[in-house]
Structure formats: C-alpha cells, structure tokens
Amino acid sequence: MIDPTATVSSLLRTHAAGRPDDEALRFGEVRRTWAELDERVRRLAAALRAAGIGPGDRVAVLDLNHPSCLELSLACAWIGAANAVVNFRLAPPEIRYVVEDSRARLLLVGPEFAGAVDALRDSLTTVERVLSTDGYEGFLAAHEPDTHPYDAGPDDCFVQLYTSGTTGFPKGAMLTHGAMLAHAAHVAADFGLTPTDVVQVAMPLFHVGGTSYAFLALAQGARIVMARTPDPAALLDMVAAEGITHTFWVPALMGAMTQVPGAAERDFSSLRAISYGASPMPLPVLRASLALFGPKLHQVYGMTEACGVVSSLGPEDHADPAVAHRLVSAGTPLSGVEIEIRDPATGEQLGTGEPGEVWVRTDQLMSGYWGRPEATEATITPDGWLRSGDGGHLDADGYLYVTDRIKDMIVSGGENVYPAEIERVLAEHPSVGDVAVIGVPDDRWGEVPKACVVPAPGATVDPDELLAHARAHLASFKCPKTVDILPELPRNPTGKILKKDLRAPFWAGRERSTV
C-alpha cells in the first residue's frame, strides 16, 4: 500500500534509490533504469526552473506517445507546476483553445505537429517557448540534476487532462499527487499489480487511459512499456516480446485485434489483466475477445475527473455463464470508491434498480476544473460526491449498470429510454457496423427513438429487418420508430459520438428537456 503522505516525486526517488539498475521504462529502442529516469527528470526540472517556470505554472505537450511527456509530468511534480497534455486529435482552433486555457508557458511539440503549431504560434499568447522533441535532449543536457524538490502536498496538481467537451469547450481536470496515487493504490489492489509486473501503455497520454495507467505502473514500481501509437498487430506482438502482464485497451482497438491475421497463434500467456473501457463494448467484440485472450478481461468504468477507474467487472463474471447478464454492467466499485445512484434533479439517493445519475465519492477525485469554479461546484458536492452526468442503476448484488449520459436519455410518453440499451441490441445485427440512437420529436409521445446506422463493411442495412430485430428483443416503447442510414457517425477527437449533432436537425426551433 502506498503511503498516503507520499508524492509522485518521492516515489520516483524511492525506486531510484532502492532499485537503481532495474529497468523502469521501454519505448522502442529506448531503455531507462529507475536511476536514469530519476536523473533525467531532475535535469528537466532544473531546465524548467531556469526557464522561469515554477509552482502553479503550466506547460503543455502536443505529441504522440513519447517518454518525454511522462518525464515532463514528473518534472512538473518536482517543481510544483503541472503538465497540460493536449489531445493531438484536436483541430488547430481547438489546440489553440486548450493551450491558451491552460496558460501554458512552454509547449513541447512532436514532429507531426510542428506545422500546426507554426501556424498557430502568433495566437499562442501565453507560450514563451516552443520546444521540439528534436531539441528535448539538449534542453535536459544543459542542466545538472536539481536537488531541491518542491514541498508538494497531496492536493497539489501536477497533471491537467482535458475532458472531451461533447457539449462545449473542454475543461481541464486538475489531477493531484494524492488523487493519482490513491487511484494507483486502488487499481493495484484490485488487479494484483506488483513491482515485478510489466505494464503496457498503449492509449494516448492525453487520456487517463494513458497517463493514469503509466502512473499506476510507476507508483507500484512496475516496468512500463510504452507504444507511440495503438497499432493492433504491434501491440499484440509486444505482449509476447516484452512479457506484458497488464494493459488497457478500448473496445474499437480490441475489435481490430481480433481481426489481425494469425492473432490466435500469438503467445498471450504472460497477460494477467486486460482492462477495457472508455466506450461501450459490443457483445460480438466481447465474445471474440474472450475467445482470443481467455478469461483475463476486466471491464472498467471511470472518468477523467476521478483519475481513471472507479468500478470493474472482473474475469470471474466474464467467464461464468450463470451471470452472463452482468457482461453489460460496469461491475462493482473498486476498493476505496463509493458509488450511489441519485435523482439528478433533487440529489436524493435512489433504491435498487431505480435509474438515476451515477455519483462517485473517493480520494482519487480531481481537485477541480482549472479556472472553472462554477463548473467545479456543479460537479463536486460539498460532501465530496462527484456527479458523473452518467445515467445508471445498481442491482441487488451491487453491480453498476451505466446506461447513458443523462442528457442523452429519451423521455417517451413518460418512460425513460436509455439509448445504450437499444444500441447494444442493434449492434448484434450482422448488417450493423456502427450505431447511435437519439430521441427525435413526436407529436404524441414527446420524443421517440431513432436509430442512426452505419452499415458493416460489405453489408446493406434493411430498415424493416433491423426494426423487426429490435422488436424481438426490446419492449415496444424502447424500439426505434425509424432508421437513418449514414456513411459515418460524427465523433469528437476522442472518438465519442456527438449525439447533439445528430439531434440538432430534428430539434431546430424546439426545446428538448434532456439536452
């Protein structure tokens, strides 16, 4: 168990002192021992201090995965600053917004994004220096390792990750020493992570599935193996080559992995825990993943504001046909996490099976949104509960079922309809490649479900056949009344479907109570 008074910097020093020659990180041909990583971080801290960056300041990174981003977060922890990791999938105006909102004074840029930053440079009013990754090593080498860490407390922010902003501008979640280490302790306890394990960091570092997963490994002293991009075949090869024991993947990536030629012939014996989450898992992909990897899957539910995971569905529930209904659940809370279902309007706690808003209380919560006190107050209650904005319910065994964002819930004739339930059924049809269900106006019922469907490769969607499939598996009031066939679904840069964009043409000039 991690000492609750520890900081990220103190843990790095502990590993470097006790296991200096053990390997801490691999990235392609790059190898770093704990002693080397510690020295590099302290050189970087000295370089940042020489550049005038100190407590409370922000720096930013715009790059694909690279150890420099992790080192910069660690150096910020050392000097009391924070690293605002920018989503590299954003459009240039959105990149500008995040960099300006964070008030980053230094911007580290990877080669793929140098042109975009050059075009934006004059509008980045807070950035005093743009550092290319080509110049990064020289930036470190010019300074001796710093020896005076900032006296950080558990509530000091050192990483700032931006929410995806599906309904407005992204907000910077301030993740602290205490919250990140609490998350690491809770996940390690439930997933059996030890210092002898090997953790694959496959997801982008701008996401908690990348950065928080890396700090999960670092906190425990496990070896990190980082991938620059999440290439399905390369990640599968890495498992055997590096002896990966723990990893986090998203369902879309796992779907691609099951289609990699010769995937079943690869050696996955080292793997003990495959976590997956961040988007709904289609049941066909889940079944194919279970067949490929065996009973090693942990479905996880979480959020940026909680440093990552708050609940998990473990391998036992994936493997037991007697509880197959739990495969669509988000499992049970991690140790150290409380979850309740509350009425979104009144905040009243609801009973077993009653749908409402998922509320979370834990010591792994963010300290708030950067520069957004009103948004922080609306999200975190005075007694420490985080309002997730997700709809869901708890069953009699304490399993959490997350349905949809509260704003996406459809109210049809007084009945609450959750699109995710309908989408799971429609995704089972072989003609469906991608699907989103939205509420559209209806003069009789107020609103009714509509399915927006992208055909599977080589398939043709027959709307009447798809509606008949829905009627065979769903109550009549939940069934879509119409089907629109689209070439693709609109998504934000993190891949989440923009249902507000799908709804907009139908609700023009009207009011929708759940938006």
Q: How far is CA 328 from CA 145, 390, 422, 434, 484, in A?
A: 50, 15, 12, 18, 25
Q: What is the mean pLDDT of the chain?
A: 92
Tokens of 151: 């006296």
| pLDDT over 80 at 405, yes or no | no
* Identity of the residue numbered 189: A
Domain boundaries defined on the chain: 1-177, 329-408, 409-507
C-alpha angle with apex 434: 429 to 437, nearest 5 degrees? 90
The structural architecture, per CATH, of the domain 1-177 is 3-Layer(aba) Sandwich (3.40)
- Mean pLDDT is lowest, of 45-59, 261-275, 358-372, 464-478, for 464-478
Residue 442: per-residue pLDDT: 86
CATH number of 329-408: 2.30.38.10
Q: How far is CA 150 from CA 141, 227, 297, 307, 366, in A?
A: 21, 31, 40, 22, 20
CATH number of 409-507: 3.30.300.30
Q: What are the tens digits of pLDDT across the range 455-507?
A: 999 999 999 999 999 998 887 888 999 999 999 999 876 677 889 899 999 98
Residues sharing a CB contact under 8 Å with residue 318, sequence separation 6 or more, in sequence order? 290, 295, 297, 299, 327
For every residue of 253-312, DSSP letters joined together read HHHHHTTSTTGGGS--TT--EEEE-SS---HHHHHHHHHHH-S-EEEEEEEGGGTEEEEE
How far, rounded to the nearest angstrom, does the alpha carbon of residue 426 sit from its chain's CA centroid? Answer: 25
pTM, 2 dp:
0.85
Please tell me the distance from the alpha carbon of residue 151 to that of residue 196, in angstroms, as a whole number.
30
Check if the beta carbon of residue 86 is closer than 8 Å to that of residue 206.
Answer: yes
Residues β-bridged to residue 159: 83, 175
Model confidence at 2, pLDDT cuts 50, 70, 90, reads low
